[in-house]
Amino acid sequence: MSLALFPLNTVLFPDCILDLQIFEARYLDMIGRCMKQGCGFGVVCILEGEEVGPAAPGYALVGCEALITDFHQQDNGLLGIRVKGGRRFRVLSSEVQKDQLTVAQVQWLQEASEQPLKEEDADLIALLKALAEHPMVEALDMGSEAEGQLSLANQLAYLLPFSEQDKIDLLQLDDPQQRLDAIQQLLDELQGELFA
């Protein structure tokens, strides 16, 4: 499956919302094609290089499909789009086109089915509710409810201030329980650093 990539300094997770400002010609063209064809593009996290300018030489090989849900002209004249995370994928190979757009051959990753929330998830559910009250999170309109473990894991992994590498590692985990355990471990480490 061929997918245009948009390397960013962020890690997108399924069902999470991301607002983007588009100004480079290669990405304006890509967005136009996606909207005409009703398809998405791939968000991968940059490991080396910049978001703007020549194609980023190094990015994570696991990413998330971005589906355009809304678009508008911003006050500064640039195109603003809102995307929702779709399926996760692994990059098999890629090439940089003449216009510096990176197009990859990807393999979709199998998504685990939603699992009911458990009693031991209560602290993480409370954390998501608290995060949802932050003005920046509120603006994303993602809500504060998790339908199950997968939804809870994706939202927390996306919203919490973990390092990009930690987020990439979380995105690669297929099992929601494993992802929640890893999030809890990262939170414990953060807490340990705060009170060390």
Tell me the one-letter amino acid at 193. E
User: Tell me, what's the pLDDT at 55?
Assistant: 55
User: Tell me, what's the pLDDT at 56?
Assistant: 54
User: Tell me, what's the pLDDT at 51?
Assistant: 54
Q: What is the mean pLDDT of residues 144-163?
A: 93
**Residue range(s) occupied by CATH 1.20.58 in the chain:** 119-194
User: Tell me, what's the pLDDT at 75?
Assistant: 87
pLDDT over threshold 90, residue 77: no
C-alpha distances in angstroms, 107 versus 42, 56, 187? 12, 21, 31
When the candidates are 1.10.10, 1.20.58, 1.10.4100, 1.10.3470, the CATH number that belongs to 119-194 is 1.20.58
**pLDDT tier at 171, thresholds 50, 70, 90:** very high
Backbone angles phi, psi at 82, to 5 degrees: -115, 130
pLDDT over threshold 60, residue 38: yes
Give me the DSSP letters along 6-18: EEESS---TT-EE
Q: What is the pLDDT of residues 79-135, one digit of tens each?
A: 999 999 999 999 999 999 998 899 999 999 998 899 999 999 999 999 999 999 988
Q: What is the pLDDT of residues 3-25, one digit of tens each?
A: 999 999 999 999 999 999 999 98
For domain 2-108, the CATH superfamily is LON domain-like (2.30.130.40)
Q: Which residue in this structure is represented by tokens 């089915």?
A: 113
**Residue range(s) occupied by CATH 2.30.130.40 in the chain:** 2-108
Query: pTM for the complete prediction?
Result: 0.91
User: Tell me, what's the pLDDT at 105?
Assistant: 97
Q: What percent of the chain has pLDDT over 70?
A: 95
